[in-house]
Amino acid sequence: MFELDERLANDTVVIGNFPLSVVLMSRDSRYPWCILVPRMANITESYQLTAEQQQQLCLESAMVAKTLMSEFNGDSMNVAALGNVVSQLHVHHVVRFTSDDTWPGPIWGVGEAVPYSDDVLMAMKSRIAAKLATQQDFIAD
Amino acid sequence: MFELDERLANDTVVIGNFPLSVVLMSRDSRYPWCILVPRMANITESYQLTAEQQQQLCLESAMVAKTLMSEFNGDSMNVAALGNVVSQLHVHHVVRFTSDDTWPGPIWGVGEAVPYSDDVLMAMKSRIAAKLATQQDFIAD
């Protein structure tokens, strides 16, 4: 049975669900940052999914990437499945700006997370959920 | 018309082609590392491809990821489309080992590339090409 990795759960809030994946938002306010986690047990790499699930993940990833870039008007979208620290398959979608702290380097493991205030966290969550809700088959949490 | 970005061309050798993407191998010997570049002009993010091309890229990416992990018996596969330095859409596939220099951090922008000798570069290229050639629709260079 699928259970969200504890570290992912601690570092994020749930925004909602696509048919395959739960959509998480990072609690780190430095970047607009969503993570897709397919709700499948014991999957560490995307090629372990069925061909149909891989295509669905690809579709969901494109919807998240496009939505975030359009909403936050970023300079680049970083899409990455790393899994070195948390092995459960999860796909990062991070909006990058030429003005951000770690540009043009990668963000993972660099600097300290800056948490949102509770109000801003909820506002960001609602803002992204509202935009994703215009996409096919997304159900807000 | 599609033209491979000059920096990507300098940092890699061409292994071959899938229907959508050219497959490059990094000249940095620290990691078994292939890069897929869809042969489409003026594309910086995967969601700018047509839906059909996105699905094809997903398929080609899975074939590269699975082939590299099976051939090099890695501990984790890092799949990432970043594009902060080179904006032309390109998808990294990097085999990671718990024993590698930058584990568990990301590899991009960390440390200095260690070039292969010419012999080993050609041997690695042939080794990966031979494995990819067992996949559907791959044509070695």
C-beta atoms of B79 and A103 within 8 A = no
Q: Is A104 in contact with B87 (Cβ distance < 8 A)?
A: no
Compare CB distances from B104 to A44, A55, A84 and report the shortest one's residue.
A84
Token pair of A62 as six digits: 């494109």
**A1 occurs within a structural domain:** no
Q: Please name the residue of chain A whose CA is at the shortest distance from the CA of residue B77.
A: A82
Reported ipTM: 0.97
A84–B76 CB contact, under 8 Å: yes
* B49: nearest CA partner in chain A: A62
The most distant pair of C-alpha atoms in chain B lies apart, rounded to whole Å, by 42
**Single-letter code of the amino acid located at B72:** F
Residue A58 belongs to domain spanning? 6-136
Question: Is residue A83, in this structure, part of any structural domain at all?
Answer: yes
Supply the CATH number for residue A75's domain: 3.30.428.10
Q: Which residues of B touch A (CB under 8 A)?
A: 44-47, 51, 54-55, 57-59, 61-63, 65-66, 69, 76-85, 87, 96, 103-106, 108-109
- Is residue A113 in a domain? yes
Distance (Å) from the C-alpha of residue A119 to the closest C-alpha of chain B?
Answer: 30
> Are B46 and A96 in contact (CB < 8 Å)?
no
Convert the pLDDT of each residue in A66-89 to its tens digit: 999 999 999 999 999 999 999 999
Residue A141 lies in a domain: no
Does the pTM of the predicted model rise above 0.90? yes
Tokens of B132: 């990819």
pLDDT in tens, B68-123: 999 999 999 999 999 999 999 999 999 999 999 999 999 998 999 999 999 999 99
- Cβ-proximal residues to B64 (8 Å cutoff; 6+ apart), any chain: B23, B34, B36, B93, B132
The verdict on residue B56 lying in a domain is: yes
Quick check: is A74 in a domain? yes
Predicted confidence band of residue B136 (pLDDT cuts 50, 70, 90): confident
Residue A82's identity, in one-letter code, is L
Which of A34, A41, A17 is CA-nearest to residue A78? Answer: A34
Residue B53 inside a domain? The answer is yes
Instruction: Please answer whether residues B59 and B19 qualify as being in contact, where contact means their C-beta atoms are separated by less than 8 angstroms.
Output: no
Q: Do B76 and A65 touch (CB under 8 A)?
A: no
State yes or no: pLDDT of B135 exceeds 90.
no
Closest CA of chain B from A141, distance in Å: 25
Compute the distance between CA of residue B26 and CA of residue B58 in angstroms, rounded to an integer: 20
DSSP labels for A107-124? Answer: -TTSS---BPPHHHHHHH
* Residue B134 burial by Cβ neighbours in a 10 Å radius (0-12, 13-18, 19+): exposed
Residue A90 has a pLDDT of: 98
Query: Is the alpha carbon torsion for B125, B128, B130, B133 positive or negative?
Result: negative
Instruction: Look at residue A45 and tell me if it is in a domain.
Output: yes
User: Across the interface, do A83 and B78 touch by the CB < 8 Å criterion?
Assistant: yes
Q: What percent of chain B has pLDDT over 90?
A: 96
Contact: B78, A84; criterion CB under 8 Å? yes
How many independent structural domains does chain A possess? 1
Residue A102 and residue B105 in contact, taking contact as beta carbons nearer than 8 Å: no
CB contacts of A57 in chain B (<8 Å) are 58
Cβ–Cβ below 8 Å for B54 and A58:
yes
CB B96, CB B78: distance < 8 Å: yes
